[in-house]
A and B are shown apart, each in its own frame.
Chain A
Amino acid sequence: MHALWAGTAWAGALVMIPAGSYEPLYPADPDQPKVRVEAFELYDAPVTGREFAAFVRDHPEWAPANVSPLMADARYLAHPTEGEQPATQVSWFAARAFCAARGERLPTVDEWEYTARASSSEADASRDPERLQELLAWYSQPSTGEIGEIRQRLPNVYGVYDMHGLVWEWVEDFNRTLFGTDGRQGGDDDDLRFCGAGALSATDVTDYTRFMRVAFRSALEGSYTTINLGFRCAKDVEAR
């Protein structure tokens, strides 16, 4: 499949996510709330500490001592996770480099959110009250404790684990969330500056955790690293 680094076996497996459409929380065009997501492949689990350590070993330019401070802040890999824990304290630049080294990429916001709607029984469980309660419970847990290992909960209907409840995840276009804009008003992520107005133009106000993710991404810079921010890779479906 892909070249292994120093004999590292991948913790995750690529899963096919079929094409479909979903409604971004803040559509680029409010008159077209649905966005089509083409079929793509996504890893069924976040990249692990073990995998990232192997990447750094084989790509020493991404070791903390060698990386540009513009591409990873001072906390980069300061306390690296181990084994089957998700790799965290990894910047967006480093996460992208990891995926690129495997011939892959980070998922987009739309791909990630589209997949994250799924529960273990439904592709779109975004209005399932029980699931919303479960998500809120996960997201409201303080993240100070030890990070768990991947794949300790049920996978979603696609066979993808840990979209919720383990770590935040980088996406390719995290910086599409805008605060200073071209002067357009209404329907853009920019409305986050005005909390009430933003909620009114959002497409789905029932899932509060979506607001939390938008707010989290909007606060990120590419060099940021935190102890509860990891990533997983994705891949285009090759034309057959």
Chain B
Amino acid sequence: MMTLWLFSACGIVWAPAEPSADTPAAAAPLAPLPEDSLYRIPIPLTRADGSDAPLGVHRGHPTIISMFYASCPTACPMLVSEIQSLEARMPEADRADLRVLLVSLDPARDDAAALTEAAGRYGVDTSRWVLTRTEPEHVRTLAALLSIRYRDLPDGEMNHSSILTALDRQGRIVKQEEGLGRGHDGLLAALVGI
């Protein structure tokens, strides 16, 4: 009821908080970002091809965001493969709309070449997946925003938590799941049809 009243009383274009099936997805990116959108946080990213991207590079699409590092031996390949199997379980239209953003925890070593190599090794769909790095001062900021914990180890590896975060089209956190070896049904449910 409140929604209808806002529409008629204001007489202006009003973006619903949750775009529904009858709202064209293409219109969503034009709406102002809600105050709790992750995309309002100014964290500049660099893609594997060296080009710049904002944190909201996937604005307008349901997105999974997480952090990784290219030389990570076990946890990160597992993380990627879990996202891939989650994608495989989505209806085709939802899968085509889904985007994935991975940001490196290891900006010292993860340059453009390392990101490109990792994307190839993981075999990700680079039309929908973006692997990026950011400057060191932003790494801990983003990790804190995503509740990701990490610690450098003396041998050059890292201890880090594996948390997948589902974002709606405007960059609001709609679901977070921690841990590897899970089916991520909750994420799947959160991402389908939003």
Contacts and interface: CB of A to CB of B under 8 A. Distances in A.
Interface residues of B, number: 33
A68 B153 contact: no
Interface string A211-231: 000000000011000000000
Interface stretch (B1-9, B58-66, B88-96, B143-151): B143-151
Contact of A68 (B36, B157, B160, B161): B36
A180 B163 contact: yes
B152 interface: yes
Contacts of B160: 178, 181-182
Interface in A19-38: 28-29, 32
A229 to B, nearest CB: 15
Nearest to A68: B40
Contact of B74 (A29, A71, A96, A183): A183
Contacts of B154: 28-29, 32
A96 B163 CA distance: 23
A180 B179 contact: yes
Nearest to A35: B154
A68 B152 CA distance: 29
Nearest to B144: A222
A112 interface: no
Contacts of B153: 28-29
Contacts, number: 78
A222 B145 contact: yes
Contacts of B178: 180
A69 B159 contact: no
Contacts of B40: 68
A70 B148 CA distance: 14
Nearest to B173: A70
B149 to A, nearest CB: 5
Q: Give the secondary structure class of A's interface.
A: loop
Interface string B132-175: 00000000110111011111111101111111000000000100
Given A180-B178, A182-B72, A182-B75, A173 B36 contact: no
Contacts of B45: none
B146 to A, nearest CB: 10
B70 interface: no
B148 to A, nearest CB: 7
A175 B142 CA distance: 11
Interface stretch (A41-49, A125-133, A145-153, A184-192): A184-192
A180 B151 contact: no
B159 A70 contact: no
Interface in A182-205: 182-184, 188-190
Interface string B162-194: 110000000001000011100000000000000
Given A173-B140, A178-B151, A183-B75, A69 B158 contact: no
A181 B161 contact: yes
B180 to A, nearest CB: 8
21 contacts: A28-B154, A28-B159, A32-B154, A70-B36, A71-B145, A175-B140, A175-B143, A176-B150, A178-B160, A178-B161, A179-B149, A180-B149, A180-B161, A180-B162, A181-B75, A181-B159, A181-B160, A181-B161, A182-B157, A183-B75, A221-B144
Given A176-B150, A181-B75, 18 more contacts: A28-B153, A32-B154, A70-B145, A70-B173, A71-B41, A176-B149, A176-B151, A178-B149, A180-B149, A180-B178, A180-B179, A180-B180, A182-B75, A188-B151, A188-B159, A221-B147, A222-B141, A222-B144
Interface of A: 28-29, 32, 68-71, 92-93, 96, 172-173, 175-184, 188-190, 221-222
